[in-house]
Structure 1
């Protein structure tokens, strides 16, 4: 399984940020590659992400496991495995936000190329979500995963 972590600080209180991160259906308005997040029933959400000229789709369960932590895991979908968490901690002047994701794609013999590209798209979307829910963010770890990708496609929407 491949894993990625993106950490950033923001000037917003941790309480506000964790509440906004709980509003997953709002995420497509924040992240250019995220086409939709919709109710799939039973506390599940269906996600569709633009990826490599097509889409990656999955259904995930998200739950708050601690006051400042939201964990998520794919129930079924295009990834072999997908799980992670958003964690927010108060710091002087605002908060620190961490997005952690572990995943493997469903094409094992192409994992080196596809897993890397998928991780970059997931991290870019997480960065855009952080920026939208918490105001201007300063990336403190994982920023190198944000490079080497073209801008989100506008024509696919």
Structure 2
């Protein structure tokens, strides 16, 4: 299963960033490519984002969590499988935030062609999410 990873230093406390990521609902105002993050009645969250100009969606549920790590797994959506891991490493001036996304498209015959394209799109998605967290502390 292909996996991409990205990290960024964010000048905000880890607990605040973790809460923003866990709730997710403020992310569309921070990252314009995130069209919608909507909590569902069963405790999952439905995401809709633009990747390479196409609307892609999935529903995810928190699989595990701690003060320094959140793991989400897709329960349904456009990927055959999707696993998202956020890490939060605090220091005295902010937090090193990591985001890893592992995915499987479910189109094995075309994987050699499609996986690199989707990996690049998901890497851009991760970079945009991480950069969007920097001003998150200033958002009401």
TM-score, length-normalised on structure 2? 0.82
Spell out, residue by residue over 1:70-107, the C-alpha distance to the aligned partner (whole angstroms, 9 max, x if none). 11000111111100211101124211100011101132
SS at match of 1:67: coil
**Mean Cα deviation higher: 83-92 or 33-42:** 33-42
Equivalences for 1:89-108 in 2 at 5 Å?
89-108=89-108
Equivalences for 1:85-124 in 2 at 5 Å?
85-124=85-124
Equivalences for 1:1-150 in 2 at 5 Å?
1-62=1-62, 65-135=65-135
Distance in 2, Cα, partners of 1:56 & 1:33 = 11
Spell out, residue by residue over 1:19-68, the C-alpha distance to the aligned partner (whole angstroms, 9 max, x if none). 22222122222223322121232001111222344322211102551112
Aligned to 1:155: none
Alpha-carbon spacing, 1:61–1:50, altered in 2? closer, same or farther (3 Å): same
**Mean Cα deviation higher: 124-133 or 100-109:** 124-133
Could you tell me which runs of 5 or more consecutive residues in structure 1 were left unpaired when the two chains were aligned: 137-157
SS at match of 2:80: strand
TM-score, length-normalised on structure 1? 0.75
Count of aligned pairs between the two proteins: 136
Alpha-carbon spacing, 1:116–1:43, altered in 2? closer, same or farther (3 Å): same
CA RMSD of aligned residues (A): 2.1
Could you tell me which runs of 5 or more consecutive residues in structure 2 were left unpaired when the two chains were aligned: none
